[in-house]
């Protein structure tokens, strides 16, 4: 990474850290973009080069996460069972949710819960990830999204397992990977397998 890239990343991180600190203190609606920029010691134009809106400050890693997910999905072999694909691609992504991220995740969750615009944005982002998974699984299975239920079903199952585990992690802490394993195990135990 070049010196210029390092400086950009430091500036971006400073903006995000400042925004979360101010949001935690005053709530999402109680903070303006100008106040975030001033507290991060950057101009509003600089802030907008990194984030197109105040709402995007609450989701700073989502674009990178979606890009990583797309890359990991593309690396999976054709014909692989969707359950295997989902298990393999989600595992490296959850490594982003280490213990130090728990406080920020809880703040983010509280902001989303308290702010209708953020709830809508969060749901749209989740739907975009689900659609990405669904379309990949359709290609992998060699079927059309609109004529076979399996891609949508497996995408929803994968998202449900992840968000069930994520919810437990938010409230109890611990290891998100362990909670995800618990979710998959609970699902497998709930749905009887037919031979």
pLDDT at 127: 95
- Tell whether 195 is covered by a domain: no
pLDDT digits over 72-96, tens only?
A: 999 999 889 999 999 899 888 888 7
Q: Give residues with Cβ within 8 angstroms of 78, minimum separation 6.
A: 140, 142
User: Could you give the residue ranges of the DSSP H alpha helices within the chain?
Assistant: 3-26, 33-40, 44-50, 62-74, 82-94, 101-114, 116-141, 150-172, 176-190
Q: Flag the least confident range among 25-34, 98-107, 150-159.
A: 98-107
Q: Give residues with Cβ within 8 angstroms of 158, minimum separation 6.
A: 82, 86, 90, 133
Statement: residue 1 has pLDDT above 80? no
Domain that holds residue 163: 61-190
Query: Are 51 and 67 found together in one domain?
Result: no
In the chain, the percentage of residues whose pLDDT exceeds 90 is: 79
Instruction: Grade residue 164 by pLDDT with cuts at 50, 70 and 90.
Output: very high
Tokens 């080069």 identify what position?
A: 49
Query: Are 109 and 49 found together in one domain?
Result: no
| CB contact at 8 A, 47 and 69 | no
The CATH number given to whatever domain includes residue 35 is 1.10.10.60
Query: Are 137 and 46 found together in one domain?
Result: no
C-alpha distances in angstroms, 28 versus 44, 119, 135, 158? 17, 12, 34, 30
Statement: residue 195 has pLDDT above 60? no
- Tell whether 158 is covered by a domain: yes
Tokens 């995007």 identify what position?
A: 56
- Tell whether 148 is covered by a domain: yes
Query: Are 69 and 45 found together in one domain?
Result: no
**Among 56, 73, 101, which residue terminates a domain?**
56
Q: Taking residues 9-25, report their average pLDDT.
A: 96
pLDDT at 194: 56
Query: Are 124 and 176 found together in one domain?
Result: yes
The domain total for the chain is 2
Query: Are 48 and 71 found together in one domain?
Result: no
Query: Are 86 and 164 found together in one domain?
Result: yes
pLDDT at 100: 67
C-alpha distances in angstroms, 34 versus 46, 47, 98, 142? 11, 9, 31, 50
Query: Are 73 and 164 found together in one domain?
Result: yes
Smallest CA-to-CA distance from 23 within 104, 119, 117 is with 104
């Amino acid at each position: 990474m070049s010196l210029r890239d390092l400086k950009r990343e430091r500036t971006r991180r400073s903006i995000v850290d400042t925004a979360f600190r101010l949001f935690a203190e005053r709530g999402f609606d109680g903070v303006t973009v100008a106040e975030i920029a001033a507290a991060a010691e950057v101009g509003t134009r600089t802030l907008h080069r990194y984030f197109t809106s105040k709402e995007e400050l609450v989701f700073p890693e989502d674009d990178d996460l979606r890009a990583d997910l797309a890359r990991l999905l593309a690396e999976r072999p054709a014909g692989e069972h969707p359950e295997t694909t989902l298990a393999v691609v989600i595992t490296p992504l959850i490594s982003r949710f280490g213990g130090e991220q728990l406080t920020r995740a809880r703040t983010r969750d509280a902001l989303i819960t308290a702010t209708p615009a953020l709830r809508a944005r969060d749901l749209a982002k989740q739907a975009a990830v689900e659609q990405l998974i669904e379309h990949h699984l359709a290609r992998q299975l060699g079927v059309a999204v609109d004529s076979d239920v399996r891609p949508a079903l497996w995408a929803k199952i994968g998202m449900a397992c992840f968000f069930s585990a994520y919810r437990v992690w938010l409230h109890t802490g611990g290891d998100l990977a362990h909670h995800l394993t618990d979710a998959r195990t609970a699902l497998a135990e709930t749905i009887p397998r037919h031979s």
